[in-house]
Each structure stands twice: as structure tokens, then as C-alpha cells.
């Protein structure tokens, strides 16, 4: 079973996506802010991290940078950004740092997200360490 | 003021005139003079030669006559008889015949005077001399038997006389005369022509000289006789007769002395006139005429004064003429010049007056010649000038008042106005323009427009050549218009403006001028931006809770399907649907704000219209069924219709149009969707049999917030943004969208997009399976590090 970490401060959204993913057969963990999320990411090795950008205490981009640092334990964990910010510049920056994908929450239903993640794992079966 | 020149016409004319007169008269005089002089000279020569000739001829005649008489008497046979008494008698008769003869002498062969009688003494002179050495004797007896003419001699009283002698010869054929006895001489036969003696006469020249010197007496001409030695032997003035003094300071006498000893043949016919001073230091002119057979010359001496008097007379006359000429020419030339300069002065004066501004001044010249005409022409010109100036004045007033009006109008305009010349150099900017740009009119005129401001459309500069198109085919009128562009000016002030460029053709020189009208919309623009930002932000904010609502409601629907009564389940379903709708509306708002801001980006990829349409239809099933409408889908015969487009957005179009069709069609209505091929485009039709759209509403259909007023107003949902969004999206895809409808006859919405050929498709092979590509972006380049 694939393990997914959702880093999202909006509990409603977090709950909804977690539920959808669980129903789809994934194991889901949740973190409410970036720091917690980072801890969890390093403590457990997930197959995918869904990362929001607008987080308290640190932005998703900072977290992404931290994750991708050479010394990070979660260095190789795939990351999908799940956010409402859709600016090109942000998207490009995230990709540069090393995100695998970018999803605009507001335009997607939870099912769409599940489909995409399925597609992702289908294409990249051997993710994670 | 035009000043009268120093070397005016008067002076010039006068000088020329006078010089001409002088030259003419002078040359005429000189000519005349040169012609007169020789005539006068000739006259003198003539006179003198005539006199001289007369005098010399007279003298010659006299002497010749005397000699002839002598010869005749010498040939008298008396002298052959040897009878002295007879000879004396002969001589006595001779003496009595000629009063001039003073003495007669016979000289014999030996040179002895044999007989001598004198007028003054009654008796024959017994004092007989030996004359063998005297030239009189010698001339006759010596080799050349010639008569002898002696020199002039003077007695104690100063009475002149001359000795003439002739040889006495035996008649031809006769011999010598022999003295037979003391009293008888016999002429023996012989050859004849033998000289046996000389007959000599002493002739008084007194009368002759008196006669001669009296010639020419009337006009003061002096005639004198001079001999070989230059002595004056005859002169009217007895005092001057001086046989002993040689006078050769009289050039004629001198010439005579010089030439007298030359051979007679050397005497030329030409007479030379000398002018010199006589004994009284009076100027005289004289010449000499040689007396033939003698060594005398007649000197004719005339008072030079006469000759010069003539010349002087001529000269005086000429001078008089000259002076007279000058005397006439000076006033005449003055008069003539005045006739010219006066009108000219009048003209100059007139010009001065007129140039001072007095256009009523008229020049008066009545010379009845060309100057008159000139004055008239000038007056005409002044008249016309006056008219022109008055017209100009009135035009100027008109211009001033128009300018005043224009200034009032301009000052009332809020918009910035910039006037440029054909080289886009600034002619004028009004006060609002000064405020807008931060430059001042009087400082910026003459510089090019791009020093004043720069215009940007979405951060791309619009070049001057675009908004001030020099070569636009339009000669006058609006040549450029753009709304909502940025303007940069002094101090980096950024404003948003609408700009209109008007082109006008200048009357002066056929060059164009540009008038830029700039309407500051910054406030509006900023408001718009704020609105859009607000809308965008609001939409974003609305989204989050909406997502939650939708999410939760979905969960409830799934979980409570069997646990709720139908009634409550329906309520839940409706809640869900409304939440979805709300979400759709929020999405619309967001789309619109993006379109307005220009930030809507398309992610283009190959799309199959048919499958996309099918998907959208599937999504709308619920809506359809709730209104019990039927949907017919007519795709092409072929399976796929590939275009290049943004999947999310094209879906949005389908959703909007189908949604509209459903909403605006009553219950049990039918909707038909078809996709057709038209040349290189695909045409999508969405047809409903609803109430249709009235004609007047059709042009406004695709505008923002438009909602058709039909009988179904109340039930019409939507913000009126749907069609606007569709149009924007189709336009961004370079397609076309339009509507055909009539009230009561349903509506068809068309849109067409260009086909994507196979080659184009191959470029975009990746990423074709994404559901909503706008929302999900994969980073394909990054593999696991």
C-alpha cells in the first residue's frame, strides 16, 4: 500500500482528500503545517507528499527546498503541490526545486486528485526508496 | 528712410552733359581751327608771294628795261664812227630819254673811260678814269661778254643807284674797229661781235625803291630789298636803309644771304614764311623773293599781329562758342536732371511714407512720360497693398478671435492635447498635458515626441511611428486609437490612458500635423484593476470553503444513500448540485477576471472535439434528466476531430453552451449537438428549441453581464458571463463564435476552430490523457533524483 502525506492547513480540505485517498486504497497521513510536515516526511518515508503552499510558519516552497536538500532524508520523496496559487512563476520555481507535479485545488474535485495520483503511481511504480 | 544719394542723377547727368558739350564744341573748334590755320597761312603765303613777286618783277622789269635801253644804245652806229661828239650826243639823248639814268659812261677796250656824262652837270665830265679793274668793265670784256648788273650803291645823301653796263660789239660780219687816225676809226671786215668797249650807265634806284616800298602800304606790309650781303638797300623807313650794316637777324634776309650764292636753279619755288621780331620788337612774318638776275631779294614783312589777329579772332570765336555752349548746357542739364530726379524724389518720398504705414498716400507726378506711368503703377500697387493689409488685418482679427476661442475651448478640456508637426516635433501641449507629462509647454516645444512621453501596451513600447504613422493613407482624421495603454513620462510617472491620434494637413505648407488626444483613465484603470483583483481574490477565497462544502456533501451523498429518506436525500442532492453550481459561477468569475487582466493562459495540446464534447455531455446528464430534456449528439462520420486547444478551456466552452441550451430550453425540450467539417475548420453547433433570442439582443449577446430577457428570466441562472467567457476563449484559440436565432424559433450557437493536421498532432503526443490540464501540471523533465 502506498503511503501518502498531506501537508495542508485547511482541515476540511485535508479531511476530504484524505478520505478520498483512503477510499482509493492509499495509506494517508496528515500534517497541519510545514514544520510538522517536514518532521513527518523525514521520520516516515512516504511514496508521495501532497504539499500546500499557503501554510503557517513556513511556505510550501520552503518545505520543498528543505526536503530536497542533499542531507534530507526525504530527499527522494516525490512531491505534488496541491494549492490554489496558479502563477506560472511559482509553478516553474517549484519544478526547478524538484516537484513532480502541481495541482490547482479549486479546479479539481477529490476524485480528480485521486485519478491523477493513480496515474502517477501507474507511471512511476517504483517511487520512494 | 531712403536717403538721397551723394552722387545723384543731377550730378551725373550734368557732368555727362557738360562733358559731352565740351567735347563736341572743343573738337569742333579744334577741327575748325586746324582747318582755318593753313588757310590763313596759305593766305599769308599768297599775299606775301604775290607782293614779293610783284616787287621782284617790277625790279626785274626795271633793270631789264634799263639794260635793254643800254643795249640798244650800245648798238648805235655812232659808236662805230669814232666821233666823240656824236657819241656824246647819243648819250645825251639817252640821258634825256630816261630820267633814272644819272651817268652814262663809255669805256674803251683798254678800260679807260672815254666819254662820261652826268645828269647833274651840263658839261661832259672830263675826269676820265681807268676802269680796267672795275667789275663793270671786266664783266663785259673778260671772257664772258655779258651785261653787268652791279650792286646797289649809295650816295652821300643816301640815294641808291646801280651800275649797269653792256658790252659794245661790232656788228656781225664786221671786223675790228681800227683807229685810222686820231679821229677816225674804221671798221675793218672781220668776224664781227667783237667787243670794242663797254657802255655803262649809273641808274638811280630811288624811284624804283620808292615804288616798291610803297607796295602793300595800305595794310602795314613792309617791303624791303636786301642784297647779297644782307644789307637793307631799300626800305620805306629811310632810317633803316643802311648800306654798311649787314643785318642777318632777319630770317628772310638770312635765308637769302645763305642761298644767294647758290646756283639759281637751287632757288626753290617754295617760299618760307618766318615769324620773328622786327627792329621795333614787333612780331612780324616775312618771306623773301629772289630778284632774278640780281643778287637781291624782296623781303615782304607783314605785321604778325594781322595774322595772329585772324587766328585770335578764330580762337576767340571758338572760345566764345565753347563758353556759350557750357553756359547753355549747365542750366539745361540741371533742368533735365531735375525733370528726372524730381519725380524720382517724389517716388522715394512716397515709398518712405508708405513704408511708414501711410497707405493713403498717393504719388503725384505729371511729367507725361514714363515716370508718370511709373507713378501711376506705384499708386495702383499702393491701393492694392492697402486692400491687402486691410484684409490681413481683418483676417488677423478673425484668427485672434478664433485663437481665443480655441484657447477657451482647450482650457475647458480635461484631456491632454499634444500638437506635433510632420517630424513629430512638439508644437504645443496644453495644461492638462503639462500636468500629465510633467513638462512645460515653453520648454518642450521643438523637441521630438518621444522626449515627452512613451506609450506601452502590456509593457511593450508602442513606437512613435505606429501612433504617428507618417505614411498612413488617411490624409486627415483619426489615424490611431488605443485604449488602456500605459504612458511613461518625466519622473517615471506611469499613467493609464486612452490615446487618439488625429492627423491634419497644414494649410501653410502641405505638411501634416498630428494632434494627440490623451484621456487619463488611470483612476478608472486602477479601479478596474482593483475590481479585478478583488474579484480574483474573492473568487479564490470563495473557492476554498466551497471545495469543502462540495467535498463534504459528496461524502454525505455517498455515505447516506441508504440511510436517508428520499426526501432528505433529495435535499442533500440539491445542496450538492447548488454547491457545484456556485463553484461553477465562482470559476466563471475567476475566468473573467483573468481574461480582463490578460493573464488567461492557454495550455495548448491536440484535442479531439468529439470526445471532449462527449465528456461534457456526460457531465451535464443530471441537469438534462431533471428537466426531462433530450440530447442528441451528432458527431462527424469520422471518429475524431483534432484541434489544437486548451482542454480545460474548450471543455468550459462546451459546458457553458450546453448549460445555456439546457437553461433556456423549457421542460421536455430537445438539444442537439453536432460537429461538422468545413474546409480546414471544424464547426460545432449547439441547437435548442427554446424561445429563441430577439434580433436586437443578438449583437450584445457576447458582452459581459448580458442576460437575454426571455419568458424564462426568473429561471435563468448565471451571471451573464458565460457567453463572454466562451467568446474570449474561442478568440484566444483564433476561432469564431456566433449565434443564429429568432424569437420563437429556437437558437443555434456556432463555433469553429482550425483543424490540426497529423504533423501538428505529432508534436503534442505527450500528456493527452490528463483530465483537466489547466489544473494539473506535470513536471516531466524531472526524474527521481
Q: B572-587: per-residue pLDDT in tens?
A: 988 998 898 888 888 8
Q: What is the mean pLDDT of residues B495-509?
A: 81
The x, y and z cell numbers of residue B684, run together, are: 460545432
| Structure confidence at residue B626 as a pLDDT band (50, 70, 90) | confident
| Structure confidence at residue B394 as a pLDDT band (50, 70, 90) | very high
* Predicted confidence (pLDDT) at residue B722 exceeds the cutoff of 90: no
Edge-to-edge strands, sheet with B148-154: B113-118, B101-108, B195-204, B160-169, B148-154
Angle among Cα B670, B674, B677 to the nearest 5 degrees reads 165
Are B501 and B467 in contact, with CB atoms under 8 Å apart?
Answer: yes
Other CB atoms closer than 10 Å to residue B592's CB: what's the count? 23
Question: What pLDDT was estimated at residue B299?
Answer: 85
Q: Tell me which of A24-38, A40-54, B401-415 is least confident.
A: B401-415
| Structure confidence at residue A49 as a pLDDT band (50, 70, 90) | very high
Q: Which member of A68, A98, A105 has the closest CB to residue B547?
A: A105
Q: Tell me which of B194-203, B298-307, B411-420, B693-702 is least confident.
A: B298-307
Question: What pLDDT was estimated at residue B751?
Answer: 93
ipTM score of the complex? 0.82
- Compute the nearest-CA separation of B601 from chain A (Å): 9
Beta-bridged to residue A29, according to DSSP, are A5
Question: What pLDDT was estimated at residue B726?
Answer: 92
Distances (CA, A) of B537 to A51, B291, B352, B584: 21, 163, 83, 16
Chain A residues close to B550, C-beta within 8 Å: 109
Q: What is the mean pLDDT of residues B432-454?
A: 86
Contacts of B59 (CB under 8 A, 6+ apart): B208, B212, B225, B291, B294, B296, B298
Are A51 and A7 in contact, with CB atoms under 8 Å apart?
Answer: yes
- Compute the nearest-CA separation of A18 from chain B (Å): 11
Are B183 and B83 in contact, with CB atoms under 8 Å apart?
Answer: yes
- Compute the nearest-CA separation of B551 from chain A (Å): 6
Computed over every residue of chain B, the mean pLDDT equals 81
Residue bearing the bigger pLDDT, B245 or A50: A50
Contacts of B217 (CB under 8 A, 6+ apart): B236
Q: Quote the DSSP letter at residue B133.
A: T
Chain B residues close to A12, C-beta within 8 Å: 545, 547-548, 551-552
Strand pairing category for A48-51 and A79-83: parallel
Q: What is the mean pLDDT of residues B109-119?
A: 83
Q: Tell me which of B591-600, B752-761, B766-775 is least confident.
A: B766-775
Contacts of B60 (CB under 8 A, 6+ apart): B291, B292, B293, B294
Q: Which member of A75, A78, A115 has the closest CB to residue B771?
A: A115
Q: Which member of B550, B554, B784 has the closest CB to residue A78?
A: B784
| Radius of gyration of chain A from its Cα atoms, rounded to whole angstroms | 13
Question: What pLDDT was estimated at residue B4?
Answer: 56
Q: What is the mean pLDDT of residues B308-316?
A: 78
* Predicted confidence (pLDDT) at residue B782 exceeds the cutoff of 60: no
User: Which chain B residue is nearest to residue A111, measuring alpha carbons?
Assistant: B551
**Cβ contact (<8 Å) for A104 and B774?**
yes
* Predicted confidence (pLDDT) at residue A128 exceeds the cutoff of 50: no
**Cβ contact (<8 Å) for B551 and A95?**
no
User: Which chain B residue is nearest to residue A95, measuring alpha carbons?
Assistant: B779
Give CA B157 to chain center in angstroms: 98
Give CA B610 to chain center in angstroms: 87
Q: What is the mean pLDDT of residues A5-12?
A: 91
Are A114 and A50 in contact, with CB atoms under 8 Å apart?
Answer: no
Tell me whether B540 touches chain A (CB under 8 Å): yes
Q: For residue B302, what is the enclosing H or E element?
A: strand B297-303
Edge-to-edge strands, sheet with B776-778: A27-31, A3-7, A48-51, A79-83, A101-104, B776-778
Angle among Cα B9, B14, B17 to the nearest 5 degrees reads 120
| Structure confidence at residue B736 as a pLDDT band (50, 70, 90) | very high
**Cβ contact (<8 Å) for A84 and B543?**
yes
Q: Quote the DSSP letter at residue B725.
A: H
The pTM (predicted TM-score) of the whole model is 0.48
Find the DSSP H helices in B714-757: 722-732
Q: Which residues of A touch B (CB under 8 A)?
A: 10, 12-13, 15-17, 19-20, 68, 75-76, 78, 84, 88, 91, 94-95, 98-110, 112, 115-116, 119, 124, 127
Maximal C-alpha separation, chain A = 36
Q: Which member of A10, A98, A104 has the closest CB to residue B785?
A: A98
User: Which chain A residue is nearest to residue B785, measuring alpha carbons?
Assistant: A76
| Structure confidence at residue B302 as a pLDDT band (50, 70, 90) | confident
- Compute the nearest-CA separation of A107 from chain B (Å): 6
Residue bearing the bigger pLDDT, B613 or B221: B613
Q: Quote the DSSP letter at residue B130.
A: B
Question: What pLDDT was estimated at residue A5?
Answer: 94
Residue in B576, B583, B531 with CA at minimum distance from that of residue B554: B576
Q: What is the mean pLDDT of residues B166-176?
A: 73
**Cβ contact (<8 Å) for A16 and B775?**
no
Question: What pLDDT was estimated at residue B173?
Answer: 66
Contacts of B26 (CB under 8 A, 6+ apart): B322
Are B338 and B320 in contact, with CB atoms under 8 Å apart?
Answer: no
Q: Tell me which of B135-144, B279-288, B522-531, B591-600 is least confident.
A: B135-144
* Predicted confidence (pLDDT) at residue B596 exceeds the cutoff of 50: yes
B407 exposure class (CB count in 10 Å sphere: 0-12, 13-18, 19+): exposed
| Structure confidence at residue B784 as a pLDDT band (50, 70, 90) | very low
Residue bearing the bigger pLDDT, B754 or B347: B754
| Structure confidence at residue B114 as a pLDDT band (50, 70, 90) | confident
- Compute the nearest-CA separation of B597 from chain A (Å): 13
Q: What is the mean pLDDT of residues A95-111?
A: 84
Strands (E), B668-742: 670-678, 681-688, 736-741
Strand pairing category for A101-104 and A79-83: parallel
| Structure confidence at residue B783 as a pLDDT band (50, 70, 90) | very low
Question: What pLDDT was estimated at residue A22?
Answer: 93
**Cβ contact (<8 Å) for A19 and B555?**
yes
Question: B584, B781, B784: which to substitute to probe chain A, counting the most A Cβ within 10 Å?
Answer: B784
| Structure confidence at residue B767 as a pLDDT band (50, 70, 90) | very low
Question: What pLDDT was estimated at residue B785?
Answer: 35
Q: For residue B163, what is the enclosing H or E element?
A: strand B160-169
Chain A residues close to B546, C-beta within 8 Å: 106
| Structure confidence at residue B634 as a pLDDT band (50, 70, 90) | confident
Distances (CA, A) of B231 to B227, B237, B303, B400: 6, 14, 21, 117
Residue bearing the bigger pLDDT, B683 or B713: B683
Chain A residues close to B601, C-beta within 8 Å: 88
The x, y and z cell numbers of residue B328, run together, are: 547753355
- Compute the nearest-CA separation of B778 from chain A (Å): 4
* Predicted confidence (pLDDT) at residue B606 exceeds the cutoff of 60: yes
Q: Cα–Cα distance between A33 and B111 in angstroms, integer?
A: 201
Q: Which member of B555, B775, B785 has the closest CB to residue A108?
A: B775
Tell me whether B598 touches chain A (CB under 8 Å): no
Computed over every residue of chain A, the mean pLDDT equals 86
Chains A–B, number of C-beta pairs less than 8 Å apart: 90
Buried b vs exposed e over B209-219: b needs ≥16 C-beta within 10 Å? bebbbebbeee
Q: Cα–Cα distance between B267 and B254 in angstroms, integer?
A: 14
Contacts of B28 (CB under 8 A, 6+ apart): B321
Beta-bridged to residue B148, according to DSSP, are B165
Question: What pLDDT was estimated at residue B212?
Answer: 84
Residue in A106, A104, A101 with CA at minimum distance from that of residue A120: A101
Tell me whether B778 touches chain A (CB under 8 Å): yes
Maximal C-alpha separation, chain B = 242
Contacts of B101 (CB under 8 A, 6+ apart): B66, B94, B95, B119, B201, B202, B203, B204
Amino acid at each position: 500500500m502506498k503511503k501518502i502525506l498531506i501537508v495542508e492547513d485547511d482541515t476540511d480540505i485535508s479531511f476530504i482528500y484524505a478520505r478520498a485517498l483512503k477510499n482509493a486504497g492509499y495509506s494517508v497521513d496528515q500534517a497541519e503545517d510545514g514544520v510538522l510536515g517536514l518532521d513527518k516526511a523525514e521520520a516516515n518515508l512516504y511514496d508521495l507528499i501532497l504539499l500546500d503552499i499557503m501554510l503557517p510558519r513556513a511556505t510550501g516552497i520552503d518545505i520543498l527546498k528543505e526536503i530536497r536538500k542533499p542531507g534530507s532524508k526525504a530527499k527522494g520523496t516525490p512531491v505534488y503541490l496541491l494549492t490554489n496559487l496558479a502563477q506560472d512563476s511559482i509553478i516553474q520555481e517549484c519544478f526547478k526545486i524538484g516537484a513532480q507535479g502541481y495541482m490547482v485545488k479549486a479546479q479539481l474535485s477529490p476524485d480528480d486528485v485521486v485519478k491523477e495520483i493513480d496515474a502517477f503511481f501507474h507511471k512511476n511504480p517504483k517511487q520512494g526508496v | 528712410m531712403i536717403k538721397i544719394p551723394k552722387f545723384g542723377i543731377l550730378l551725373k547727368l550734368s557732368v555727362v552733359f557738360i562733358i559731352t558739350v565740351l567735347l563736341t564744341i572743343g573738337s569742333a573748334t579744334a577741327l575748325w581751327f586746324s582747318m582755318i590755320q593753313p588757310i590763313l597761312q596759305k593766305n599769308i603765303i599768297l599775299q606775301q608771294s604775290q607782293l614779293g613777286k610783284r616787287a621782284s618783277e617790277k625790279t626785274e622789269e626795271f633793270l631789264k628795261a634799263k639794260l635793254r635801253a643800254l643795249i640798244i644804245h650800245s648798238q648805235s652806229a655812232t659808236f662805230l664812227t669814232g666821233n666823240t661828239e656824236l657819241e656824246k650826243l647819243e648819250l645825251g639823248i639817252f640821258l634825256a630819254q630816261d630820267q633814272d639814268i644819272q651817268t652814262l659812261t663809255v669805256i674803251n677796250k683798254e678800260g679807260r673811260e672815254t666819254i662820261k656824262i652826268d645828269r647833274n652837270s651840263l658839261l661832259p665830265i672830263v675826269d676820265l678814269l681807268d676802269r680796267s679793274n672795275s667789275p663793270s668793265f671786266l664783266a663785259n670784256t673778260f671772257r664772258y661778254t655779258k651785261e653787268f648788273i652791279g650792286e646797289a650803291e649809295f650816295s652821300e645823301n643816301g640815294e641808291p643807284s646801280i651800275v649797269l653796263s653792256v658790252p659794245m660789239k661790232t656788228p656781225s660780219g664786221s671786223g675790228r674797229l681800227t683807229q685810222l687816225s686820231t679821229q677816225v676809226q674804221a671798221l675793218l671786215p672781220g668776224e664781227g661781235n667783237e667787243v670794242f668797249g663797254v657802255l655803262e650807265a649809273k641808274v638811280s634806284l630811288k624811284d624804283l625803291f620808292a615804288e616798291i616800298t610803297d607796295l602793300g602800304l595800305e595794310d602795314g606790309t613792309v617791303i624791303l630789298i636786301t642784297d647779297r650781303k644782307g644789307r637793307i638797300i631799300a626800305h620805306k623807313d629811310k632810317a633803316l636803309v643802311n648800306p654798311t650794316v649787314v643785318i642777318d637777324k632777319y630770317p628772310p634776309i638770312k635765308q637769302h644771304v645763305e642761298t644767294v650764292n647758290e646756283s639759281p636753279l637751287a632757288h626753290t619755288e617754295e617760299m618760307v614764311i618766318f615769324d620773328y621780331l622786327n627792329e621795333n620788337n614787333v612780331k612780324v612774318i616775312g618771306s623773301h623773293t629772289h630778284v632774278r638776275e640780281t643778287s637781291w631779294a624782296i623781303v615782304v614783312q607783314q605785321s604778325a599781329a594781322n595774322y595772329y589777329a585772324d587766328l585770335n579772332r578764330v580762337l576767340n570765336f571758338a572760345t566764345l562758342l565753347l563758353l556759350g555752349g557750357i553756359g547753355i548746357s549747365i542750366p539745361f542739364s540741371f533742368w533735365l536732371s531735375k525733370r528726372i530726379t524730381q519725380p524720382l524724389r517724389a517716388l522715394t518720398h512716397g515709398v518712405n511714407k508708405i513704408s511708414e504705414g501711410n497707405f493713403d498716400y498717393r504719388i503725384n507726378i505729371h511729367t507725361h512720360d514714363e515716370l508718370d506711368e511709373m507713378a501711376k503703377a506705384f499708386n495702383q500697387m499702393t491701393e492694392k497693398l492697402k486692400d491687402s493689409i486691410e484684409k490681413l488685418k481683418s483676417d488677423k482679427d478673425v484668427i485672434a478671435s478664433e485663437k481665443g476661442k480655441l484657447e477657451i475651448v482647450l482650457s475647458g478640456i480635461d484631456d491632454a492635447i499634444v500638437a506635433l508637426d510632420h517630424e513629430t516635433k512638439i508644437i504645443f501641449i496644453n495644461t492638462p498635458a503639462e500636468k500629465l507629462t510633467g513638462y512645460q509647454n515653453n520648454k518642450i516645444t521643438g523637441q521630438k515626441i518621444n522626449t515627452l512621453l512613451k506609450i506601452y501596451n502590456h509593457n511593450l513600447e508602442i513606437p512613435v511611428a505606429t501612433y504617428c504613422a507618417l505614411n498612413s493613407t488617411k490624409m486627415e482624421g483619426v489615424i490611431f486609437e488605443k485604449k488602456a495603454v500605459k504612458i511613461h513620462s518625466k519622473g517615471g510617472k506611469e499613467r493609464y490612458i486612452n490615446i487618439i491620434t488625429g492627423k491634419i494637413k497644414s494649410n501653410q505648407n502641405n505638411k501634416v500635423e498630428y494632434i494627440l488626444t490623451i484621456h487619463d483613465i488611470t483612476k478608472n484603470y486602477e479601479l478596474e484593476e482593483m475590481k479585478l483583483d478583488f474579484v480574483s481574490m474573492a473568487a479564490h477565497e470563495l473557492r476554498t470553503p466551497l471545495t469543502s462544502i462540495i467535498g463534504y456533501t459528496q461524502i454525505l451523498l455517498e455515505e447516506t444513500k441508504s440511510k436517508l429518506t428520499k426526501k432528505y436525500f433529495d435535499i442533500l442532492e440539491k445542496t450538492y448540485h447548488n454547491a457545484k453550481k456556485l463553484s461553477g459561477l465562482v470559476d466563471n468569475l475567476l475566468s473573467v477576471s483573468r481574461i480582463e487582466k490578460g493573464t488567461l493562459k492557454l495550455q495548448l495540446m491536440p484535442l479531439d472535439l468529439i470526445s471532449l464534447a462527449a465528456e461534457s455531455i456526460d457531465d451535464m446528464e443530471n441537469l438534462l434528466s431533471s428537466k426531462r430534456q433530450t440530447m442528441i449528439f451528432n458527431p462527424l462520420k469520422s471518429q475524431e476531430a483534432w484541434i489544437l486547444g486548451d482542454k480545460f478551456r474548450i471543455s468550459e466552452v462546451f459546458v457553458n453552451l450546453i448549460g445555456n441550451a439546457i437553461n433556456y430550453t423549457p421542460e421536455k425540450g430537445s438539444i442537439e449537438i453536432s460537429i461538422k467539417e468545413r474546409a480546414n475548420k471544424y464547426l460545432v453547433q449547439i441547437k435548442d428549441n427554446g424561445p429563441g433570442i430577439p434580433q436586437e439582443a443578438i449583437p450584445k449577446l457576447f458582452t459581459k453581464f448580458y442576460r437575454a430577457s426571455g419568458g424564462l428570466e426568473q429561471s435563468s441562472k448565471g451571471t451573464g458571463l458565460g457567453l463572454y467567457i466562451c467568446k474570449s476563449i474561442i478568440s484566444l484559440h483564433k476561432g469564431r463564435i456566433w449565434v443564429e436565432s429568432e424569437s420563437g424559433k429556437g437558437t443555434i450557437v456556432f463555433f469553429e476552430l482550425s483543424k490540426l493536421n497529423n504533423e501538428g498532432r505529432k508534436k503534442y503526443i505527450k500528456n493527452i490523457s490528463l483530465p483537466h490540464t489547466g489544473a494539473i501540471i506535470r513536471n516531466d523533465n524531472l526524474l527521481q533524483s
